[in-house]
Amino acid sequence: MKYEGLSAVDTATSLDETTGETSGVAHWRPPDGRRMLQLALAAVWLLDGVLQLQPFFFTSGPNGLSAMLKGAAAGNPSFVARSITWNASIVGHHAEVTNAAFAFIQILLGFGIAWRASLKPALVISIVWSLGVWWFGEGLGGVFNGNGSPLAGSPGAVLFYALLAVLLWPPRRPDLRGPLVAAGRVGIVAAKVVWVVVWVGMGVLALIGSARSPEGVHDLIDGLKAGQPGWLAALDRHAESLVAHRGLTVALVFAALCVVVALSAFLSVRATRAGIVLAVLAAAAIWVVGQNFGLIFVGGATDPNSGPLLILLALAYWPVLPPPVTPTEVRTVPSPLAVTFGRS
Amino acid sequence: MPHPTWLAYGFAVLMVLISVYCIGRLVLAQHWGRSNHFDVNVSHVLMGAAMVGMLVPRWKVLPDGLWELVFGVLALYFFATSTRFVMGHGFRGTDNGHFHHLSHNLIHMVMSCAMLYMYWLGMPITAATNSSTSMSGPPAGVGDPSLTLFLIAVLLASAVWQLDSISRFSPRSLALSAVGGDASHHTGAGDDPPWLAPRLEISCHIAMCLTMGYMLVLMV
């Protein structure tokens, strides 16, 4: 049996696209770059929801989710720490119910983003949920307690979910292709500001966090090894020996790399692409060595950490050259200013 | 580690409903002369029934050895259909539905392999006791976590991919397809009879992927 009829839908719906504002049930077309990134984000949410169903999280007490949440309070300002402890105590008293709710909310977010009819509400809810988890679950990503290192996931993996939800928001007119997927709705200036803030921010965190101490990175990797599959533990051992006593050097190199990546967004298309490749490679390296895939192989992980989200973020900034304009299309092409700022 | 039995029962009930529904599809499609993915629905019935037995052991309908044989045959069948499709149409097709068609065979092959994997590792399960949490618990830490998580990732990616495509089969999309003259298969405008409730079939697939993902994650 063949799945047919796609091109027909495309042809028929192109007439309706001038109305814009659709993520639409009736406007099905094969996924483009933006949609593929949205689907990847949906898959990560779904994975988070399924990971949350692990038995570990349904237990209360020192070995359960509440203890994990309580641990995020350490070192934070008192009002933040109090709110985290308060939330953790609620979770501790109702571990089963709260964890099941957490899991199903994340599963629903994944399904909501994947189903075109519910895309926008799901993205909005995902932003709210992400910010809540960033506060109560990740203790603001270690930004305020001095222990945050981008190698370990700081400023918080879940913050990138919210950021991606904003940047991947559907554009007003789906037929208007901006120069970047990330600039679709927020405009290219705002998108580039976000890019700079993310990468410069991570560079700064690398320099001020505890990982800059001589054994900081070594200890970070050492703490990940237990229970990992053999190949990953072996990789960790090699990485450890490489960075032993070189925490400050690693921090400086990483900070310099972050600045290069941040600045690449303002250079030529070729340089921007090189910067994005560098960002993807850096994110992949962080994910494997610094985060051990978010510790998902050893159980008890709620998400795959920031590595894959950083990769998605970088891909959203891949410059897209506009298709060549034929003479008959000239009149319908929007002004360069409108394209630049992602507005119709 | 203790695990809520109500969750296992919940997924088991969902699988029972899907199996019954897929049996109904097989009967009704034949009776009404509608198109249907026969192989997919048969595999959904079998996987659903097997997972029910894994989730709630006292609801087991066949011995594990027999299920292993069943899923071995299913995996081989989907491997053969995938190979035949690639040999006939190549990896890159000429129409937009090519990838969907190929992935449909491949994902069911992966699902059959995932079932085999769980049986080989002695996947029993959680709802064996009468208390709210099982004391025996799932076999956490068995198998290769990399392979387990790879299977989970593939299943969840398939669920997301299928859910994205579900809007193609909304009445409005089908009407637009009919206007374009390229949707005879779904609407019945051409030689092929229309496909029986495509969105429900896709929903069943998504639910199966999620349930299988849940069972696999208990092993990590």
Beta-bridge partner residues of B134: B3
A60 versus B29: the higher-pLDDT residue is B29
Any CB–CB contact under 8 A between B194 and chain A? no
3-state secondary structure of B133: strand
Segment A192-208, tens digit of pLDDT: 999 999 999 999 999 98
User: Does some domain include residue A14?
Assistant: no
Of B28-32, B136-140, B158-162, the one with minimum mean pLDDT is B136-140
One-letter identity of residue A130? S
A252 in a structural domain: yes
Arithmetic mean of pLDDT, B112-137: 69
Upstream peptide bond of B193 is cis (omega within 30 degrees of 0): no
Domain assignment present for residue A6? The answer is no
Within a 13 Å sphere around the CA of A209, how many CA atoms are in the beta-carbon half? 30
Contact residues on chain A for B3, CB-CB shorter than 8 A: 55, 58
Q: Touching check for A29 and chain B: CB below 8 Å?
A: no
Contact B185 A7 (CB under 8 A): no
| Residue carrying structure tokens 């190929």 | B102
Distance (Å, whole) CA A74 – CA B106: 47
Domain ranges, residue A160: 31-320+336-340
- Indicate yes or no: CB of B177 within 8 angstroms of CB of A42: no
Q: Coil, strand or helix: which one is A332?
A: helix
Q: Yes or no: say if A36 and A312 are a contact pair by the CB < 8 Å rule.
A: no
Partner residue opposite A5 with nearest CB, options B101, B152, B186: B186
Cα–Cα distances (Å) from A55 to A63, B135, B140, in that order, read: 11, 11, 9
| Per-residue model confidence (pLDDT) at position A27 | 60
Q: What are phi and psi of A301, to 5 degrees?
A: -100, 140
Structure tokens that stand for B126 in this block:
């959680």
Asked if pLDDT for residue B215 goes beyond 90, the answer is yes
Task: Pick the residue from chain B with its C-alpha nearest to A119.
Answer: B164
**pLDDT tens, residue by residue, B3-13:** 788 999 999 99
**Residue A74 domain-assigned?**
yes
For chain A, say whether B96 makes contact (Cβ under 8 Å): yes
Contact present, B167 and A25 (Cβ < 8 Å): yes
Rounded Cα distance, B207 and A16, in Å: 33
B190 falls in which pLDDT band (50, 70, 90)?
low
Determine the residue among B125, B182, B191 to mutate to test chain A binding: the one whose Cβ has the most chain A Cβ atoms within 10 Å.
Answer: B182
d(CA B38, CA B24): 12
- Residue at A102 is within a domain: yes
Overall domain count for chain A? 1
Cβ of residue B84 closer than 8 Å to a chain A Cβ: no
CA distances from A43 to A38, A285, B2, B25, B158 (A): 9, 21, 27, 29, 9
What pLDDT score does B13 carry?
96
Range B86-98 average pLDDT: 74
Put simply, whether B35 touches A (Cβ < 8 Å) is yes
Three-state DSSP string of A120-148: HHHHHHHHHHHHHHHHHCCHHHHCCCCCC
* Alpha carbon B79 to chain centroid, angstroms: 15
Contact B164 A116 (CB under 8 A): yes
Which residues touch A197 (CB under 8 Å, ≥6 apart)? Answer: none
pLDDT at A327: 54
A9 touches chain B (CB under 8 A): yes
Taking an 8 Å cut-off on Cβ atoms, the answer to whether A2 and B183 are in contact is no
Secondary structure tally for chain A: helices H, strands E: 14, 0
Backbone angles phi, psi at B102, to 5 degrees: -65, -45
Would you give per-residue pLDDT tens digits along chain A (344 residues)?
A: 443 333 333 333 333 333 333 444 456 788 888 999 999 999 999 999 999 999 888 988 777 888 888 888 888 889 999 999 999 999 888 889 999 999 999 999 999 999 999 999 999 999 999 999 999 998 888 888 877 889 888 898 999 999 999 999 998 776 666 788 998 888 899 999 999 999 999 999 999 877 788 888 888 898 888 888 888 999 999 999 999 888 899 999 999 999 999 999 999 999 999 999 999 999 999 999 989 999 988 887 889 999 999 999 999 999 987 666 555 544 444 444 444 444 43
What is the reported pLDDT for B179?
61
The pLDDT tens digits of the residues spanning B32-63 come to 988 888 999 999 999 999 999 999 988 999 99
> CA of A113, closest CA in chain B: separation in Å?
9
Q: Would you say residue B96 has pLDDT above 80?
A: no
pLDDT in tens, B104-120: 889 999 999 999 999 98
pLDDT band at B2 (very low <50, low <70, confident <90, very high): low
Give me the mean pLDDT over the B168-182 stretch.
67
Average model confidence (pLDDT) across chain B: 84
Q: Is the pLDDT confidence value at B201 over 60?
A: yes
d(CA B21, CA B27): 10
| pLDDT value of residue A256 | 96
Let me know: does B179 contact A8? Beta carbons within 8 Å. yes
Task: Check if A111 contacts B (Cβ < 8 Å).
Answer: yes
Q: Identify which of A28, A50, A58 has the shortest CB distance to residue B173.
A: A28
In a domain, A8, yes or no: no
CB A47 within 8 A of CB B156: yes
Nearest Cα neighbor of A27 from A178, A177, A174, A184 is A174
In the structure encoding, which two tokens stand for residue A3, read together? 């799945």
B185 and A1 within 8 Å at the Cβ level: the answer is yes
- CB-CB under 8 Å, B145 with A47: no
Chain A CB contacts of B2 under 8 Å are 55, 58-59
CB proximity A288 to B under 8 Å:
no
CA distances from B156 to A50, A223, B14, B145, B153 (A): 9, 29, 17, 16, 5
Tokens of A308: 């894959």
Q: Is the ipTM value over 0.90, yes or no?
A: no
Is residue B111 a contact partner of residue B79, using CB atoms and an 8 Å limit? no
Surface of A (39-68) touching B: CB under 8 A = 39, 42-43, 46-47, 50-51, 53-56, 58-59
DSSP assignment of A197-234 equals HHHHHHHHHHHHSGGGSTTHHHHHHHTT-TT--HHHHH
Could you tell me which residues are beta bridge partners of residue B133? B4
Q: Which amino acid is at B155?
A: L
Handedness of CA A235, B155, A32, A173 (dihedral sign): negative
- The token pair at A2 is 């063949």
- Residue B94 has a pLDDT of 62
